[in-house]
Amino acid sequence: MKKIILITISFILSLSSLAAPFCVAHRAIGFGELENSLSAFEAAGRANAQGIEFDLLHSSDGKTLVYHDSILKRLTLGSTCPVGKKINDLTSREIGENCKLKNGEEIPSFENTLKVLSKYDSKIFIELKDTITNSDFQQIKKFYFDRPENVFIISFSQEALKKVISYRRTDEFFNQIRVIRLKKIVYFGKLGNYDGIDARYIRKSKVKKYQRQGKIVGVFTKNSKRKIKKYLRKGVDFITTNKYQRCENIIHSMN
């Protein structure tokens, strides 16, 4: 019991030291490269982006790929690429041998993405589009063993996040990452075991209420000056955006 209390106190203190507000580069967009590509992650890291968000999907044989859409069509090339099929229904070999991203790169694996991003000190926001595997947990720990506070796992899926929270019981490392619930609109509801919320729309009163509870509050995806300023005035901790430099400039101008 004493050990659990100490871990909890340590985690609360780590939350209170979270630098705020800051900007998160949505799919690493905003640095002149194709979204969710290794080139985009390199560019965002070199630009010292404070936060970088990306998406995980799993092939039918359980390999973890970084791609946003459930089907391949929007961002891929290749005459034999099965662009109308879901990633979940294809093997990693079918995808790797037939499909390239529109910038000519391979669709990144989770491991290669972490290998690139871990060279930098950016916070990473991993969005679970379907689930998370034991291999995914080990990859996160492998590359961020010394910086668990830089890892945020986010999802609209409560089932996916429940698995992350459950994993905390078996591995102390995961007590130090943040588990963030994605939600379009926040009017009511408790966050329970979640460490915070990332919403499309949230009232100022809710921002303050959750923060008083020690929760982290973010919003997505705000690109215009008006909306970025609006939510900074509401006091959110972070803003996910496609206009990273604009967001940074506005934060600096308001300080």
CA distances from 160 to 127, 128, 190, 201, 207 (A): 10, 7, 18, 22, 24
Residue tagged 């591995």 (tokens) = 171
Per-residue pLDDT of the chain in tens (255 residues, 90 and over written 9):
444 444 444 454 444 446 689 999 999 999 999 999 999 999 999 999 999 999 999 999 999 999 999 999 999 999 999 999 999 999 999 999 999 999 999 999 999 999 999 999 999 999 999 999 999 999 999 999 999 999 999 999 999 999 999 999 999 999 999 999 999 998 777 898 999 999 999 999 999 999 999 999 999 999 999 999 999 999 999 999 999 999 999 999 998
CB of 220 within 8 A of CB of 198? yes
Closest CA to 227 of 237, 239, 217: 239
Structure tokens at 227: 């909306």
Instruction: Please give the pLDDT value at position 7.
Output: 45
Q: Return the structure tokens found at 32.
A: 């002149």
pLDDT at position 18 is 64
Extents of the domains making up the chain: 17-254
Query: Domain 17-254 is classified in which CATH homologous superfamily?
Result: Phosphatidylinositol (PI) phosphodiesterase (3.20.20.190)
Strands 151-155 and 178-186: parallel
